[in-house]
Amino acid sequence: MAMIGLFIKNNPLAKAILSLSLAVGLVACAAPAAHNPDRVMEMESRTGGTAAAQADYKIQAGDQLDIKFFYNSELNEALVVRPDGRISLQLLGAIKVQGLTPSELEAMLKKRYVSRLAKPEVTVIVRSFNMHKVFVDGHVVKPGGFPLVGFMTVMQSISQAGGLRDGARKKEILVIRRDDLGKPTVLKVNLDKAMEGDMEEDIYLAPFDVVFVPKSAIGNVNQFVDLYIRRNLPINTNVGYAVPNY
C-alpha cells in the first residue's frame, strides 16, 4: 500500500485519473456515442469514420436544460438536473433524464404528454454543462486533466495539452472510455484525416475520457489498454475504470 501511495503521489496524471475515476462512480456513466457498435468496441481497435460517433450529448447531473413546448408555452421550464439524475415537470412530476440524449428526452416527453396535450411538440436544449474533465496523455507537450467544456473534440483536447510532440503517431490516437457497465472501451482516431477536414474523425469526448497519443505503433490494443489502466490505477476499486479478466 505504501508503494501504491508513493506511485500516485509522484505521478500527477495517475492522481488526476484516480480522483476523477472516483467522481465517475458518484455521477454514474454518461457518454456520447457510447452505444454504436460500429464505433465503440470493448477492448478492441477499429479505425474511426462514422457520423454516428458524433451522436448527441448525454444529459448529466448538474446540466441546465431548457424545455420548450411549441403550443403550450405555459409548460416551458428551465431546470437543473438534480444529483439523482431527475427533473420535475408540470403534469408529469419527477422523471429521470440522466443518460438520455436531448432527442431521446424529447421523444419520451412527447410520448408521456400525448394523453395530456393536443399537440405535444417539445424541444430540449442543454443550456449549460456540468463541469467535468478529460485526460490527455502520451506524446503531447503537457499531459494532464483538462475541463470538458461543451462539445470538446479530440483535436481540441490535444490543443489544450499544448499540441503533439515530434514523432507522435497521429493516425493511431486512442480514446479510452468507460461504458455503462464500467468496462473500458476504445475508439481509434486518425488525426491526420481530422486535420485534413474529415470531421467525422474528430469525435466528441465524454466526461473522463482518456486521449492517448502514442509515439510508437501499438500492436495489441487490448493488452496496451489493460496495462495502461493498471499502471495508472494500480489499486483495486469498484469505481472508475474496470478491466475485464482475460
- Confidence check: pLDDT of 33 > 80: no
- Confidence check: pLDDT of 102 > 80: yes
Considering the domain architecture, whether residues 224 and 144 belong to the same structural domain is answered as yes
- 103-112 pLDDT, tens digit each: 999 999 999 9
> Is residue 237 a part of any domain in this protein?
no
pLDDT computed for residue 167 by the predictor: 86
Considering the domain architecture, whether residues 110 and 182 belong to the same structural domain is answered as no
> Is residue 9 a part of any domain in this protein?
yes
- Other Cβ atoms less than 10 A from the Cβ of 172: the count is 20
Considering the domain architecture, whether residues 175 and 116 belong to the same structural domain is answered as no
DSSP state of 119: S
* Domain limits for position 89: 64-128
CATH at residue 158: 3.10.560.10
pLDDT computed for residue 44 by the predictor: 36
> Is residue 218 a part of any domain in this protein?
yes
Considering the domain architecture, whether residues 70 and 137 belong to the same structural domain is answered as no
pLDDT computed for residue 201 by the predictor: 83
> Is residue 239 a part of any domain in this protein?
no
- 40-92 pLDDT, tens digit each: 333 333 333 333 333 567 888 888 899 999 999 999 999 988 877 899 999 99
Please, how many CA atoms are within 13 Å of residue 55, restricted to the half-sphere of its CB?
A: 23
Sequence-ordered list of residues with C-beta below 8 angstroms from that of 145, at least 6 positions apart, any chain: 13, 16, 17, 20, 133, 134, 135
47-69 burial, b at 16+ Cβ within 10 Å, e below that, comes to: ebbeeebbbbbbbbbbbebebeb
- Confidence check: pLDDT of 113 > 90: yes
> pLDDT band for position 160 (50/70/90)?
very high
How far is the CA of 16 from the CAs of 26, 131, 140, 153, in angstroms?
16, 15, 17, 20
Partners of 68 in the β-ladder: 123
- Confidence check: pLDDT of 26 > 70: no
Considering the domain architecture, whether residues 110 and 42 belong to the same structural domain is answered as no
Considering the domain architecture, whether residues 50 and 170 belong to the same structural domain is answered as yes
More confident residue, 31 or 191: 191
